[in-house]
A and B are shown apart, each in its own frame.
Chain A
Amino acid sequence: MALRQNAGPLEWVSGDAAGARAARPRVRLLGGFALTCGNASIALPLAARRVVAFLALLRRPLSRTYVAGSLWLDASESRSHASLRSCLWRLNRAGHPIVDAATDTLSLSTGVAVDVDDMVTRAGALLGHPGCDGAPELNHQVFLDDLLPDWYEDWVLVERERLRQLRLHALEALAERLLVMGRLSQAIEVAQAAVRAEPLRESAHRCLIQVYLSEGNASEACRQYAIYRALLARELGLEPSDKIKSLLPPSA
């Protein structure tokens, strides 16, 4: 059943109302913003999305002044606070506890799940980070998407690059794990994703070359090496390292 609130921009666009209200709200930041609860997606105006994304990334109580000043850089203090109050009012009408608003501080409600946290935990399990126990993730989909790819504010850019570095490590670790397990076609897919995420990263190219060689495909390995070598020469005027050269057959 679709539920629609007529007044204001907040609306349920799909899903069962009772089920949605019982479910835990989820914020998706990887690959683009979405706020859902159960099967229902919660449509928010851009300003309210920015507030939710900001709180979801920083994950600690933040002063209202800091949030308003960070998100409305070109507004006066009184104007930015008014914009923030308007967003909080709209979020409050969502019918779910998304933001905990204290007198002076704001934070994402503890019951709200954030996909970035999930990705970081799965990456940590692959990379053996302390506190990230459990079976490592063998599905690489969670590591494919950039943080809020069409947002270009400073607080997003910095966090996006930090998470990209983590994704790269996770993808390479996963490709190596799949290679050891003999799941070569999956390993190729994952290593290719690592190369796409940062084409200058030699360890990603090395990983892909190793997988090609393991499946007996020397020509693909040589082609990948040639791609990397040309890119490195064009972008940085450098030659590949001996470590990656040594992977190739002597005749290459």
Chain B
Amino acid sequence: MAPIGPEPVGVLVLRAWIEGNHSDGLRVRILKLTDAESGGEPEQMAAATIEQACEIVRTWLVEFTARAAAVNDQ
């Protein structure tokens, strides 16, 4: 049968909230787990704007795909 894995798996979790219901009250806690297979404690980051959060997500995806490509090349 076809394997379910073992493609590289990463996990990015965003927990967002609005401080005081203000328009500039966005807070985002970001947990980054680049290698979900091997586990390990997630790295934590924070953002206060949509742009910051998107940039963190983008950077993570770039790093993740580069890492996955490196693993595939081995």
Residues on the B chain within 8 Å of A104, using CB: none
Q: Does B19 count as interface, using CB distance less than 8 angstroms? A: yes
A36 to B59, CA, bound (A): 44
CB distance from B4 to the nearest CB of A (A): 5
Q: Does A247 count as interface, using CB distance less than 8 angstroms? A: no
A73 pairs with B37, CB closer than 8 A: yes
Contact of A157 among B5, B6, B9, B42 (CB under 8 A): B42
Number of A residues with CB within 8 Å of any CB on chain B: 28
Output the nearest chain A residue to B46 by Cβ-Cβ distance: A235
Per-position contact with B for A72-92: 1 when CB-CB < 8 Å, else 0?
A: 111111101000000000000
CB distance from A81 to the nearest CB of B (A): 10
Residues on the B chain within 8 Å of A238, using CB: 48
| A interface residue numbers (CB < 8 A to B) | 69, 72-78, 80, 152-154, 157-158, 161, 164-165, 198, 200-203, 235-238, 241, 243
Given A154-B11, A161-B15, A202-B19, are A77 and B1 also a contact pair (CB < 8 Å)?
yes
Contact of B27 among A157, A158, A201 (CB under 8 A): A201
Q: How many A-B residue pairs have CB under 8 A?
A: 74
B33 pairs with A157, CB closer than 8 A: yes
Residues on the B chain within 8 Å of A157, using CB: 11, 13, 31, 33, 42
Contact of B22 among A72, A152, A237, A241 (CB under 8 A): A241
Output the nearest chain B residue to A240 by Cβ-Cβ distance: B19
Residues on the A chain within 8 Å of B20, using CB: 202-203, 241, 243
Per-position contact with A for B16-57: 1 when CB-CB < 8 Å, else 0?
A: 010110100101010101001101111000111000000000
B5 pairs with A74, CB closer than 8 A: yes
A153 to B22, CA, bound (A): 34
CB distance from B67 to the nearest CB of A (A): 17
Q: Does B2 count as interface, using CB distance less than 8 angstroms? A: yes
Residues on the B chain within 8 Å of A78, using CB: 1
The 6 A-B pairs of least Cβ separation, nearest first, read: A74-B5, A74-B6, A154-B11, A236-B48, A152-B39, A161-B15
